Amino acid sequence: MMLEVKNLEVYYGAIRALQGISFDVREGEIVTLIGANGAGKSTTMRTISGLLVPRNGEIIFRGQKINRIPAHKIVRMGISHVPEGRLIFPNLTVMENLLMGAYTRNNRAEIEENLEEVLSRFPRLRERAKQMAGTLSGGEQQMLAMGRGLMSKPTLLILDEPSMGLSPLLVEEIFEIIKSINQQGTTVLLVEQNAFMALQIAHRAYVLETGRIVLHGTAKELQANPQIRSAYLGEVEIA
């Protein structure tokens, strides 16, 4: 098992944001967490990547417990987190942003090779390499955030709301890119409000509601579930 999350509890002050959630991610999968705003999806991602410390529970990555390990060391272990809202460095160039993603690595030849892979995957970033990141369109900024995440050479890529604020056409493009990243060997944990698109590319899915996992199964099972279709896929049940 690549990632195991066991009975995770996270608090913001007195508020219990995650109420003992458990799930796992196997090597080579795309696993998606779906749920409404405030369900605890981003909190889960931030806890896995070391930005939040859980009060109870365990996070085990490739057999090693990581819930007390600092975020920069978790990146070195092979987990890269592309956060909600992109959080690129607007006053740095596209190239400088990408190289920031490799800050935990030392082998220059490997970094150059990885950079070429990222620029080949995102041709628009190559075209705009010297442009200030803050002047990019929303879709280009999302590609930059994903490219920067890939520069740490992760085995597990965590994507938090990659389609947020993008046009339907760009959403399709971003999801095609996620699928191809996975097909080339990177395991993906995806948090996404666009449940329809997430379930199209995921192998398995978990549904979060107010800090609890209320349902899980294969993506196909959840797509066929009337409750999910009504709540998350915009379909109205007819009595």
Give the tens place of pLDDT for each residue, 127-142.
999 999 999 999 899 9
pLDDT digits (tens, 9 = 90+) for 225-239: 988 888 887 654 443
pLDDT digits (tens, 9 = 90+) for 50-83: 999 999 999 999 999 999 999 999 999 999 999 8
Contact present, 84 and 161 (Cβ < 8 Å): yes
pLDDT at 237: 45
The verdict on residue 207 lying in a domain is: yes
**Domain with 193 in it: what CATH number?**
3.40.50.300
Q: CA geometry: angle at 21 spanning 159 and 178, to 5°?
A: 15
Concatenating the DSSP letter of every residue in 6-40 gives: EEEEEEETTEEEEEEEEEEE-TT-EEEEE--TTSS
Q: Tokens for 20?
A: 């003992």
pLDDT digits (tens, 9 = 90+) for 98-131: 999 998 888 999 999 999 999 999 999 999 999 9
Closest CA to 17 of 6, 29, 9: 9
Q: CA geometry: angle at 53 spanning 48 and 57, to 5°?
A: 75
Q: Tokens for 110?
A: 């490997």
How many domains does the chain fold into? 1
Residue tagged 């109870």 (tokens): 56
Structural domain for 19, as ranges: 1-78+155-163+188-239
Strand 187-191 and strand 30-34: the pairing is parallel
The verdict on residue 239 lying in a domain is: yes
Q: Tokens for 119?
A: 């620029």
The pair phi, psi for residue 32, each rounded to 5°, is -120, 145
Q: Taking the alpha carbons of 5, 188, 11, 61 in that order, is the dihedral positive or negative?
A: positive
pLDDT digits (tens, 9 = 90+) for 160-193: 999 988 888 889 999 999 999 999 999 999 998 8
Contact present, 142 and 149 (Cβ < 8 Å): no
Q: Tokens for 69?
A: 């390990």
